[in-house]
C-alpha cells in the first residue's frame, strides 16, 4: 500500500482525517489538463457517516492551476476550491442502489476498497473542478487574441439592390 492508501471502510468508521499538499506535477491526469504543471493542490479527507449510517468521506480540494484561456489563448490562473461528499459502498450492486436512493442529493457514490488511494480521489475532484472551457472574465487583448471579423455584406443584399 502507498502512503496515501487507506482501508476506506475503517477510515470512515474511525472518522479519520488525512490532509496534505501535492504538486500539480504529481497528478498525471491533472497536469495533462493544465498549461504547465506548476502549482500545489491542498487537500483534506474526513471519514464519517451520514444520518442514515452510510459511510462517507468529506473531501476538500483547493489550489491554483494554470490553464489556457479559450478566448484569447493566453495563460490564466484558475482557483480550485471544491468540496464533495463521497458515499462509500461495499460493492457495485450496493453502489448502484445507493446511487438511485441518493439521486437527488449532491453526493457521489464509489465502491470502497481496503486499499483506496486518497490522492486518486483528490485528483478526480480537482479535474471535476476545472471549467470545460476556461476563459478570462475579460481578456487583455494579447497579441494571440483573435481579432473580431469585419462584418461582411450579406450576399442577399445584392438581391435587395436589384429589386429597386
HSE-CB of 3 using CA atoms within 13 angstroms? 3
CB-based contacts of 79, cutoff 8 Å, min separation 6: 62, 63, 64
- Say how far apart CA 134 and CA 37 lie, in whole Å: 16
Q: 23-69 pLDDT, tens per residue?
A: 999 999 999 999 988 899 999 999 999 888 899 999 999 999 999 99
Q: What is the pTM of this model?
A: 0.78
What is residue 100's predicted lDDT score, i.e. its pLDDT? 87
Whether residue 28 contacts residue 16, with contact meaning beta carbons closer than 8 Å, is answered with: no
Domain segments of the chain as ranges: 5-137
Amino acid at each position: 500500500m502507498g502512503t496515501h492508501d487507506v482501508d476506506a471502510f475503517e477510515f470512515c468508521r474511525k472518522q479519520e482525517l488525512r490532509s496534505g499538499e501535492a504538486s500539480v506535477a504529481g497528478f498525471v491526469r491533472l497536469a495533462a489538463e493544465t498549461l504547465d504543471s506548476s502549482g500545489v493542490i491542498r487537500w483534506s479527507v474526513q471519514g464519517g457517516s451520514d444520518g442514515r449510517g452510510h459511510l462517507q468521506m468529506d473531501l476538500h480540494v483547493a489550489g491554483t492551476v494554470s490553464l489556457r484561456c479559450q478566448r484569447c489563448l493566453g495563460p490564466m490562473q484558475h482557483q480550485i476550491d471544491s468540496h464533495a461528499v463521497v458515499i462509500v459502498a461495499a460493492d457495485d450492486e450496493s453502489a448502484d442502489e445507493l446511487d438511485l436512493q441518493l439521486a437527488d442529493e449532491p453526493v457521489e457514490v464509489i465502491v470502497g476498497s481496503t486499499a483506496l488511494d486518497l490522492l486518486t480521489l483528490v485528483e478526480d475532484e480537482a479535474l471535476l473542478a476545472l471549467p470545460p472551457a476556461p476563459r478570462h472574465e475579460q481578456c487583455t487583448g494579447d497579441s494571440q487574441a483573435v481579432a473580431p471579423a469585419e462584418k461582411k455584406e450579406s450576399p442577399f443584399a445584392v438581391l435587395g439592390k436589384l429589386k429597386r
